[in-house]
Structure formats: structure tokens, C-alpha cells
A and B are shown apart, each in its own frame.
Chain A
Amino acid sequence: MKLKSLIGAALVAGTLLSGTAMTSMVSASPEPSGWDDNNDKATGSGSDTTYAFMQRAELYMNQAQGCDTDNATPAAAPAAYTLGDCLTGAAQSSVNVNGNWDHDIFTSTYPNGSSAGVKALINGQVDYARSSRGPKSSGESAANFWGFAKDGLIMVTWGNRPAGNLTTAEIKGIYNCSITDWSQIAGQAAGTIEPVGMNASSGTKATFDSYLGFDANSGACKKSLSNGTYPFENDLKQVINDSVINQNNGITWMSRAEYVAWSYKRQTGAAWTVDSKSATAGTIANNSYPITRFIYHVTKKTDATAAAASAEVTGADGGAGGAVRELTEFMCKPAASHGLNDFTGKTNYVELTSVYSVTGFIRVPASEQTNGICKLVPGP
């Protein structure tokens, strides 16, 4: 970015910058970047699983420090409305480019599923998307998937069915209906297994299908809710309150992050080990737990992409696309590149750490990051 580059070059060169010179440097928006001195508004949609995380991340991005703003009472004509935009010229004294320079505004819409969100992004109907699955093999080539966290899928039962261990072969057997009674599982009392399906637009289902190698809803033994629909992902209230599903013989899967973060969604669910591995932050981080996944912030490739061998995010220069570019960088960049939150006095990296903790997700281990930031998976 021009501002960063200018400041960096000045420091490297040891140039003595007067206050006047510095002021003039920041009189224009710091280009090339996603900033344009205007409060652009960007909207995201998609995954249920990542909704709570993104809402919190957006809060810290919206609060992040940046330019000095035009706070003059606006004129009546809308065209003259500049309230909150960056001051320009000599009036601008801020040099803070580690937050949200032109105070762009980010909002996540209510969840509607990963696939629908990504489709809306590609259609140009929203500015970014949330996805709990990676890119599809076709149809999503215009999108970049920025893995900002890891998660695991856990197998869950409820009622009085005690949790135990399932092997991957047993899970596949349960969902392809070749294992139909709990007595076929070590340590379990008899009872007809009722494998519950999941709504088809869910990224959590897509991940589970990939693990199984087939459609989890396709088996003749699979169960849906009493109203004939499949439950939404990661919310056991639906199955626990359902009149058709046997409370002691049902089984489903859900996001480990949602499971540990939200007791209201977890209800009385109990997690099983898979292949004798517990789904912990450590086993998910090092991939020793069998069902792990990344979760994604999705952008248009033209708005945000990774610079070669750099933690910098390149892309759109302004407007909502530019704002998305900066949101992407905010979510992905390392600790040293973050500024302070004005309300807590902590860095936004620390605040994002608290978001990971509250929502149950795990920061992407460094070994799996792209250029020291998120894990970037371009749509093929």
C-alpha cells in the first residue's frame, strides 16, 4: 500500500520527515489498498457454522482505528454527504493503517447455508461469503476461499445412549445402513440405530459426505425430522425435541466448535471419539483427529487474493470490493500487523483470539497458512 510503503521507505532511508511532510503524505487515501477514504458498506452471507465468528470479527473490524473523519454537520443534499469519510489534504493527520483506515462497515446477514452464500457472492448479490466447506470442483472458480480457522466434525448421541468410540468404518456402516443395531458397536446396548441426515445446503454436510465418500442422506435407514425435513446443522434442539426420532438410538454429526461453544445448541448431546481420538483443539490442529476441516471467508478473486511470498492481500482498490480486501487482511494477518482496539486497549489480534476462544474454532496452524496468513484455497 502506498502509505505503508512510503512510511516504510522513509524509515528505512532514515529520512527525517517533518510533521508537515508526514501530513501531506497521508492527505490521499493509502493506495494501492482497498481503501478509498469512503465508508464503504460490505455485506456477507452464507454459513450457519461461521455466522457467530464473523459477526464478532466484523465488530472488531468496524471498531478498528483508521483515518481522522469528517465530522462536520452534513449538508442537506445527499451528494454532499461526507460525514464519517476520511478528511483529506492537510486536515488528515492519522497514519494508522493497521486497522480500518476509512472505517468501512461490515455486516453478516442471517445464515442461509454455505453454498447459497457462495453463489450469492459469485452472482454479485453480496460482497463476501461464509463457508464451512472448501470450494467445489467446478462453478466457483471466481472465488477465493480464505481458511481462517479449523474445526472438526464430531459424532453425537443424546438421551441415555452412552458415548463411546466409533471407527471410521463403523460410521460409514451406520450411514450406508450396513450397521443397523447399536449392539454391533462395542460396549453398546441393543437398539435400532437411527442415523439422522442434514439439510443439503450445509457445508457441514458437504464435509461429512466427503469423509464418508457418499451422501449421508442417501441411506434407506437415514432419518429426517417428523415434518419430513432434515435438520439444520449444528443444533441438536431439533432432533432432541422431535417426536419421530428415538431419543436413545439416534446419532448425528456436528461442528466441534459449535458443540463446545454453545450449550444451548449442544443440549444433552454427548461426543464420541472417532478411531479412538477425541476431537480436541490439539488433535484438530495437528490433523490426528480423523474428521477435520477448514472454515472459510470467501471473496471474489478480483477483490482479494494473496500476494506472492507476502502476507499482503491484494485486489480491489476501493468500494465494497476494496473493503472486502481489507477485511480479509484484517482476519488473516499476523499479530504484529494489528492495531489497538479503542474500547479495550487490547490489540485486535488479541480480540480475534478471544473470538476464536468464544466460538470454539482454532486458528489455522502456521504450517498450514499461505504466506503466513490464512490458508488460501482458490476456487478451481
Chain B
Amino acid sequence: MRWSRVKFGALTGSLGTVVLLLGMGSASAESSVSVTPDPIPVTAEQSAALVQVSWSGLEPRQLVFVDICKKSISDSSFTVAEDCGAYSGLTPNGSAAGDGSAELEVFRGQDPAGELWGCYAEGDTAPAGVVVYRTCFVRVTHTVVSNLDSDSETPIRFVGSPRVDPGTTATTSAVAPPPQLPSSVSSSGAPAPGGSVDDAEALQFAGSDSGAGVAITG
């Protein structure tokens, strides 16, 4: 399912003629994006999944922004800063045709940046205080991440065995557990330079909270 943000404008003439303007003349006004697989199968152990994101209709040769968001761009209150994951996006180079694809690691569970929301499969349990979204969105746009004029999105859902999310400790107190991907798929997690990752991972596995979150669907 693809949802595009389409700009509508209306001019009413003296005879009551209504002229509907679609796209406002921009070549990228009707971008589209899809995710494969859809829905996303997950095992009970998985806290992330690799998906293929494909897009078209973006401004040629402009930087592309791919983000995971909790709220639809059709919601008038949508803002990238508040509604999309701070640590979960990609910025691939734009192509001459304005299309492309990229492999995206989609988190299942609390936002890796520690904000109090997450993307969950049916039956998953979230930590206390974390708002549960059974449907999240992959959003694409170009040029700047805040470009709301030619962005598009597709909903994503996880299907599979339920999981109890230990949670990402808040941005202000700790970090997310490393994503658990299927054994057949590499997470490409090279050791971090500087020795900080060992400490991070020690923290990541410390503490878990399986309290119930607040479910929001749609």
C-alpha cells in the first residue's frame, strides 16, 4: 500500500469554475515508496529486521532521506523530529532518475534512540511507558529531511511470534539493545573503534522491564 502526499490547490473563478492543481508543477510531487517484505516476518527473538526499501518520483540527484516514523505524514501534527526515529534513518545518494532502493534495518521494539515509543508486532509486550505502534511507517523524501512537500510513506507491520521487549533505555540514561536479526542475515555490526562499544553492550544487556506499554494501532 502506498500513500503519497499530494498537494491540492483550488482556484475558484467568477463562473464558479474550480481549477484543481495537482502537484504544483514539481516533478517530485508524487513520490512513492514500498517495502519488501510486507508484512515483515519476525521470530520471537528478533528485535530488528532487514527490509528492502524502494522509491521513485524524488527529485533527481538530490540526497534521499529514508526514515522510520510512528505517525503518518497525513497527520497534520506530523514532525520529523518528534515522530521519526533519530537513529534509524538512511541518507542514500540520489539517482539521476529520482528512484532507488536501499536495505534498511527496521527496529522492532522501542525506538533505538530511547524515545518512549516503538514499533511492535501483534502480541508484543512493551516496557512500561512506551507507546506501542502496531503500524509504523517508512517515509522517504529528498534534499532535506524536513521536506514535507514531496515525501511519501508506506506502512509497515511485523508478523510473527510475540516478543517481550526489554526496552531501549532512554536517551538520557542508556542505549538500545543491539538488534537481534535472523541468523541467516548479517547485521554487519563491525566492532566500534575506540573501545566504547564494549561498554555500551554491557549496558545494553543490563536491566529489562517487561511492563505493559500503551497500544496504538493504525
Partner-B contacts on A (CB < 8 A): 163, 259-261, 263, 266, 268, 270-271, 275-282, 285-288, 290, 292, 334-336, 350, 353-354, 356-358, 362-363, 365-369, 372-373
Taking a contact as CB atoms under 8 Å apart, the answer to whether B86 and A286 are in contact is no
**A260:B199 contact, CB within 8 angstroms:** no
Within 8 A of A (CB), among B112-145: 112-114, 143-145
Q: Is the CB of A357 within 8 A of B146?
A: yes
How many angstroms between the C-alpha atoms of A276 and B170 in the bound complex?
A: 29
Q: Is the CB of A275 within 8 A of B190?
A: yes
Chain B residues with CB below 8 A from A282, complex form: 87-89, 105, 112
Contact B61–A268 (Cβ < 8 Å): yes
Contact A350 B93 (CB under 8 A): no
Tell me which residues across on chain B come within 8 A of A334, comparing CB atoms.
Answer: 170-173
CB of A366 within 8 A of CB of B172, answer yes
Which of the four size classes fits the interface of chain B?
Answer: 35 or more
Q: Closest approach, in angstroms, between the C-beta of A271 and any C-beta of chain B?
A: 6
For A336, list chain B residues within 8 Å (CB). 172
Taken residue by residue from 53 to 83, chain B's Cβ proximity to chain A (1 for < 8 Å, 0 otherwise) reads as 0000000011101000000000000011110
B86 / chain A contacts, CB cutoff of 8 Å: 281, 353, 356-357, 362-363
Instruction: Identify whether the interface residues of B are mostly helix, strand, loop, or mixed.
Output: loop
B81 touching A368 by the CB < 8 A rule? no
Q: Which residues of A contact B65 (CB under 8 A)?
A: 260
Given contacts A288-B189, A367-B199, A369-B172, 15 further A-B contacts (CB under 8 A): A275-B190, A277-B190, A282-B88, A282-B89, A282-B112, A285-B87, A287-B194, A287-B197, A288-B192, A290-B193, A335-B170, A353-B86, A354-B81, A358-B146, A366-B114
- B interface residue numbers (CB < 8 A to A): 61-63, 65, 79-82, 86-93, 105, 112-114, 143-146, 169-175, 178, 188-194, 196-197, 199-200, 203-204
- Give the Cβ gap from A367 to chain B, nearest Cβ, in Å: 4
CB pair B91–A260 under 8 Å, yes or no, is yes
Across the interface, do B174 and A362 meet the contact criterion of CB distance under 8 Å?
no
How many A-B contacts are there with CB distance less than 8 Å?
A: 117
B105: chain A residues at CB < 8 Å are 282
Do residues B200 and A266 form an inter-chain contact, with CB atoms below 8 A?
Answer: no
Give min CB distance, B78 to chain A, whole Å: 13
- A350 CB, nearest partner CB in chain B, Å: 6
Docked CA distance A263–B113 (Å) = 25
CA distance A244 to B110 in the complex (A): 50
Q: How far is the CA of A288 from the CA of B175 in the complex (A)?
A: 15
The reply to whether A356 and B90 contact each other, CB–CB distance below 8 Å, is no
* Interchain residue pairs A-B with the least CB separation, the first 10: A287-B192, A334-B172, A357-B81, A354-B81, A367-B200, A367-B175, A366-B174, A282-B87, A270-B93, A365-B175
A292 vs B87: C-alpha distance in the bound complex, in angstroms?
Answer: 14
Task: Report which of A276, A281, A365 forms a contact with B89, defined as CB distance below 8 A.
Answer: A281
* CB–CB A350/B81 < 8 A: yes
How distant is B84 from chain A, measured CB to nearest CB, in Å?
Answer: 8
Q: Which of B79, B145, B171, B188 has the most CB of A within 10 A?
A: B171
With both chains docked as a complex, state the minimum distance between the C-beta of A119 and any C-beta of chain B, in angstroms: 27
- Chain A residue numbers with a CB within 8 Å of B63 are 259-260, 263, 266
The docked-state distance in angstroms from the alpha carbon of A101 to that of B81 is: 27
Q: Shortest beta-carbon distance, B51 to chain A, in Å?
A: 15
Q: Is the CB of B203 within 8 A of A261?
A: no
CB distance from A133 to the nearest CB of B (A): 15
Q: How far is the CA of A288 from the CA of B188 in the complex (A)?
A: 9
* B80 / chain A contacts, CB cutoff of 8 Å: 357
Q: Write out the residue numbers on chain A whose beta carbons fall within 8 Å of the beta carbon of B93.
A: 163, 270-271
Complex CA distance for A263 and B62, rounded to whole angstroms: 8
The answer to whether B87 and A362 have CB atoms under 8 Å apart is yes
Complex contacts, A366 vs chain B, CB 8 Å: 114, 169-175, 203
